[in-house]
Copies of this chain bind each other. A is one copy, B any other.
Amino acid sequence: MARIVLKFGGTSVGDIERIKNAARKIKAEVARGNEVAVVVSAMSGATNQLVKWVSEVSDLPDPREYDVVVATGEQVTVGLLALVLQQEGVKARSWVSWQIPIRTDGAHAKARIIDIDTTEMARTMTAGEVPIVPGFQGLSPEGRITTLGRGGSDTSAVALAAALKAERCDIYTDVDGVYTTDPRIVEKAQKIDRVTYEEMLEMASQGSKVLQTRSVELAMNHHVRVQVLSSFDAALGSDLPGTLVVDEDEIMAQGLEKSVVSGIAFSKDEAKVTVTHVPDRPGVAAAIFGPLAAANINVDMIVQNVSLDGSSTDITFTVPRADLVRAVQELEQAKADLKFAEVQSDINVAKVSVIGVGMRSHAGVALKMFETLAAKGINIQVISTSEIKISVLVAAEYTELAVRALHTAYDLDAA
């Protein structure tokens, strides 16, 4: 017998039929003799409708009232799912966040969970009842309803799993796991059986919407084993049909063959900015990025080369495409102070990354990437690296070609 938290996202409870489908998954897990707690999102579309109403009535809504309105979406789902389970003969009851309570800070619309009191809930689970808990929300220190921000339901599920000391947190979604790359681009992409928190974080931060970054961080910090799996998959046979996100130690301890590179990620949401002939003196980088940070523009890859003439240099970096216009404006305004020559920008770029914890102990991973791209005639504009990731910026039109070539080069293609 194990204690498991199951989480169903918006599309997995998108209508009555899908809620019934989720109930079958829960029933099967209970039938295996497990103690099960369930976290659910709002029915897909419900939250959008609520947010739309709020935006129709208020230019700058009071986030406390925003939360009162949007938190209703999950409350509907917990009640309906409890009813379906009861109808199926499974003992179940809904909890709302103030009943548990799920305590958060007071940062409405983007609250953080402080703690979850699972004393009473754990007692009912031991007595054979399945608690159905709303994701995405909590109770502020002032006793008001809070929400965690978009995608917060994954975070709720992981936090509940940590509080319940659950053996696993199963995140049911509309894909059947984490893939070596986007299967829409690379036909031979494979589902990954096990991936580390660190790799998942790198993937999550780069377009892979399978898991929310915040929830992966929380899982990593509390050593919550997370499984990503499909709620539309009929197969109930396999014990672990999805992708398990775990500590590197667990993968090693099981003596599993871990490939050096786990996946190829890419993002087309990039724009490149180059500031030319920046005076090469201490503090100039801070002077450039200060105004961007103040404008809440997130800078990603940054390259500054050594100054050849000893007096000026070029600085290149990327920003999200949506922020490009603002970024250029901020820099132009600072031109008098910074004394650079000009700002060049390009939105026709894409970031392609090779991700894998194995590269920490393997030489030549970067070299293979550069050689592979060169062999296809793809020019690398910018390079940045972390311990477990190498990213390059290339012209956007080469994205698919680069991803496919790298997927093959690192032996990720399915047989």
Contact = CB atoms under 8 A, between A and B. Distances in A.
Contacts of A20: 57
A79 B87 CA distance: 32
A98 interface: yes
B54 A80 contact: yes
A96 interface: yes
A158 interface: no
Interface stretch (A62-70, A173-181, A309-317): A62-70
A143 B76 contact: no
A404 interface: no
A131 to B, nearest CB: 12
A99 B144 contact: yes
A96 B83 contact: no
Contacts of A87: 57-59
A58 B79 contact: no
Nearest to A53: B80
A212 interface: no
A86 B68 contact: no
Interface in A321-380: none
A62 B82 contact: yes
Interface in A5-62: 16, 19-20, 50, 53-54, 56-59, 61-62
Chain A interface, DSSP helix/strand/loop, else mixed: helix
Contacts of A244: none
B98 A83 contact: no
B56 A16 contact: yes
Nearest to A82: B65
Copies assembled: 2
A338 to B, nearest CB: 41
A16 B53 contact: yes
A79 B98 contact: no
Contacts of A98: 98
Contacts of A54: 79-80, 83
Contact of A50 (B16, B62, B76): B76
A79 B68 contact: yes
Contacts of A53: 16, 76, 80
A73 B87 CA distance: 24
A128 to B, nearest CB: 16
A145 interface: yes
A96 B78 contact: no
**A54, A56, A64, A93 interface centre (most CB from chain B within 10 Å):** A56
Contacts of A83: 54, 57-58, 61-62, 65-66, 69
A80 B69 contact: yes
A104 interface: no
Contacts of A276: none
A57 B75 contact: no
A94 interface: yes
A267 interface: no
B76 A75 contact: no
A205 interface: no
B99 A84 contact: no
Contacts of A96: 68, 145
A80 B62 CA distance: 10
6 contacts: A54-B79, A65-B82, A66-B83, A68-B82, A69-B76, A69-B83
Given A68-B75, A98-B98, 17 more contacts: A16-B57, A20-B57, A53-B80, A54-B83, A57-B84, A57-B87, A58-B87, A62-B86, A65-B80, A65-B94, A66-B79, A68-B78, A71-B75, A72-B72, A72-B76, A96-B145, A99-B143
Closest 10 CB pairs of A and B: A69-B79, A68-B79, A72-B72, A58-B83, A65-B82, A65-B79, A57-B84, A65-B83, A57-B83, A16-B56
